[in-house]
Every structure is written in C-alpha cells, then in structure tokens.
Amino acid sequence: MPINRDDKDLPLRDDIRLLGRLLGDAVREQEGAATFELVEQTRKAAIRFAREGRAEDRVRLHDLLDQLPPATMLSVVRAFAYFLQLSNIAEDTHRARRRRAH
C-alpha cells in the first residue's frame, strides 16, 4: 500500500514501527534469537493470513505453533500481548497529539 507522506496517521505508524523494533530487540535479548525468529515468522504468517486469507498461511501458523513447548508458547504469546499493549499506548498518544494539533 503506497504511503501518502501527508497522511495524518503517519506519525502513528512510525511510533508503532519504533515500538515494534524495540520490543523485538528486547525479545531477542531476553528470550534469544530463536524465539525472536519464531515470533517474526508467526507475525508475518498472521499478517499474510489476515490480509489474504490463504489456506497455506493458516497451515503455516498451525505448523509454527501447534507443537511448541509451553514455555516457548508463553514467550510468543507475551510478545504479541506486549505489542498490542504498546500499539494501544501509541494510539492513545496519537489521539492526544491530533487533539493538540486541532
């Protein structure tokens, strides 16, 4: 999707990208490179499935997650939960930023 540089939500997307990178760095540091790669593969497959709804992406998600040990699954779930929380904080901050601009 092309990005319009005048888009009012561009700062929000930038904030979410930054927070995602910082979270990725923390996951890599605290949980290891293998867990980081698993989270990234899961994220990419989930995005493709959400956008395109292809059966092979759903199968990929199942293949990635079905046989994980509980400790690894907990790390993956936490990473996604933290990202959602950070995204919500970024959205709240963006709304306040937009209110101040008006």
Q: For residue 82, give both structure tokens.
A: 């933290």
With cut-offs at 50, 70 and 90, classify the pLDDT of residue 2.
Answer: low
**pLDDT for 34:** 96
Residue 2: DSSP 8-state = P
Tokens of 74: 């907990």
What tokens appear for 59 in the block? 């199968």
Taking only the tens place, the pLDDT of each residue in 3-60 is 555 688 999 999 999 999 999 999 999 999 999 999 999 999 999 999 999 999 999 9
- Which tokens in the block code for residue 10? 């561009």
Distance of CA 72 to the CA centre of its chain: 17
pTM of the model: 0.83
Structure confidence at residue 102 (pLDDT) = 84
The candidate with the shortest Cα–Cα distance to 10, out of 100, 88, 82, 94, is 94
Q: Residue 81 pLDDT > 60, yes or no?
A: yes
